[in-house]
Amino acid sequence: MVTVIKIGGNIIDNPAELEQFLTDFSKIEGPKVLVHGGGKSATKMAQNIGLEPQMIEGRRITDAPMLDVVVMIYAGQINKNIVAQLQAKNNNAIGFSGADGNLIQSVKRNHPTIDYGFVGDVKQVNTNLLKTLLDNHIVPVFCAITHDKDGQLLNTNADTIASELSIALSEIEEVTLTYCFEKQGVLQDSEDDSSVITAINEELYLKLKEDKVIHSGMIPKLDNCFNSLSRGVQKIKIGHHKMLQNPDVLHTTITL
């Protein structure tokens, strides 16, 4: 069993929450992979230097100056901070972008109406190298940067990276995928943290999206969930990191 976990949202921006998450994560036994975002930190840094971030349906537009920012924040500051903290918790972590070891190769997004800039869609995962790392008790920590094999770094949705890594690994191992953020799960009412939808299948998801209950960044997250389940991932959960050590904590389970 391989455990793939993606963290984002306010966990990364809150040192106390991040510390507690990494403590919980460090206690997970067996092979595991961590994927992190960092969009809020990148947005803050961009604004500090006079750039105005642009988002469309939860996805970031990445021009050349913004790419410099996200590489610096994702692959540098956030990634190495997480790796250092995991090492302090006796997890032998190594930080990766998709370019390292050609672990995740992407293609620049070609959208018919929107120019996303230097945004990548995952083309392939180097499953053999990833398995070698896990077999040698390495904990890979992936940031949301990939490459196109022609020397270009690409900003890539961290939820998608977690999904594609899970799909690749599911060809050789049983995989569980967990998305951790500051909420208890997918909410019926974004203003009510207790309104967790405990189970979502694809039919319900489409209705909730049509009714605008699910919107913005939750759309690509759930799109990735259903893509993962349809391609071999065994189990997917969304919720607060407290569920890592206490399965009875309220959360959302995604099913086909």
Binding residues for substrate: 38-39, 60, 155
**What does the alpha-carbon distance between residue 147 and residue 149 come to, in Å, rounded to a whole number?**
6
Q: Are 93 and 86 in contact (CB under 8 A)?
A: yes
Q: How many residues make up the chain in this entry? A: 256
Annotated binding site: 38-39, 60, 155
**What does the alpha-carbon distance between residue 219 and residue 202 come to, in Å, rounded to a whole number?**
12
Triad 241, 198, 22: Cα angle to 5°: 5
User: In 3D, which of 159, 153, 152, 163 has the Cα closest to residue 125?
Assistant: 163
User: In 3D, which of 218, 251, 220 has the Cα closest to residue 236?
Assistant: 251
